[in-house]
Amino acid sequence: MKKRIKVSHEVPFSLLNYSREFNDYDYCLPHLLDENEEYLAYFKKAKSEGRYIIMDNSLHELGSAYNSERLWHWINELEPDEFIVPDVWENKTASVVNARQWIKSIYPKNTTPVAVVQAQTLHEAFECTQIYKDLGYKKIAYSYGASYYNDICVHPNKDLGKALGRVYVISTLYKQGVLHPNDRVHLLGCQVPQEFGWYQGIECIESIDTSNPIMAALDGNAIEYSGLTEKPEANMNTFQNIDFELIDLDLVDNNIEMFRLINNL
């Protein structure tokens, strides 16, 4: 039986409650738990109601992983179903060092630590994936924006090239047996929304998080059957506090529906 891939779209604060209508799980950014009471209240309620929570380390938003002391505070407070351990952008060695340290930690009973592959070449991606598996990580994540994806796929459109580059990396790891059908893989973000339809037949993809359909809506762009050719300009850092009244909910709903349709999710 084909696995059902779980999807979550990060949204501005004003859409948190609305997001329950379309998100399979809640994706938590820990630095926002310390910065916004509304955000904290939402996740405390989500936890009390038994919603599935994946907690990130906020690398993408902050440029480096969030303070370890605060990460541990929120791990123990929220007991997320999954926690993405601190990684270092495009640095395999530093990310592996972190992964070795964090796998030794004691997590809440139902929290699974997840390690993110960081690399600058396909070979490093192979090595990083295998090391994580040897360390005992039960789930592995792959980021969307690594520069080496453009080296692998020299498409004139950089956004499409990065999307195709990640597909090539994961499909090659899968073909070579580094990744197996029963492995658990999370895909972090995307350049273009149609990328996830290109993983058909790769059975290890378990979950996806991307704000892409929401950000496209905030840009005023509708996702069509062909997807998009460029990554939306809008991002969570600049639109986190947008007023609910300024959001075109019809366009948000269209983009979410089209995202699922074009990716056969």
Is 243 within 8 Å of 14 (Cβ atoms)? yes
What is the distance between the alpha carbons of residues 55 and 32, in angstroms, rounded to a whole number?
11
pLDDT at 154: 95
How far is Cα of residue 234 from the mean position of the Cα atoms in its chain?
A: 17
Interacting residues of 198 by C-beta distance below 8 A, sequence separation 6+:
163, 164, 167
122 pLDDT higher than 60: yes
What would the pLDDT profile of 8-27 be if each residue is shown by its tens digit? 999 999 999 999 999 999 99
The sign of the CA dihedral 250, 214, 81, 177 is: positive
What would the pLDDT profile of 132-169 be if each residue is shown by its tens digit? 999 999 999 999 999 999 999 999 999 999 999 999 99
Q: Measuring CA to CA, which residue among 225, 232, 230 is closest to residue 258?
A: 225
Q: Report the CATH number of the 14-262 domain.
A: 3.20.20.105
Judged on CB neighbours under 10 Å (0-12, 13-18, 19+), 142 is: buried
Query: 2 falls in which pLDDT band (50, 70, 90)?
Result: low
Is 248 within 8 Å of 22 (Cβ atoms)? no
CA angle 111, 19, 37 (to 5 degrees): 70
pLDDT at 237: 83
What would the pLDDT profile of 192-250 be if each residue is shown by its tens digit? 999 999 999 999 999 999 999 999 999 999 999 999 999 999 888 889 999 999 999 99
Residue 113 β-bridge partners: 83
pLDDT at 236: 85
Q: Measuring CA to CA, which residue among 151, 162, 97 is closest to residue 123?
A: 151
What is the distance between the alpha carbons of residues 217 and 222, in angstroms, rounded to a whole number?
6
Where in the chain are the domains? 14-262
Exposure on the CB side of residue 222, measured as CA atoms within 13 A: 9
pLDDT at 235: 87
**Mean pLDDT value of segment 167-188:** 97
The pLDDT mean for the chain works out to 96
User: In the block, which residue shows the tokens 């994946």?
Assistant: 54
Residue 185 β-bridge partners: 140, 205
Straight-line distance from the first to the last Cα atom of the chain, in angstroms, rounded to the nearest whole number: 14
pLDDT at 3: 74
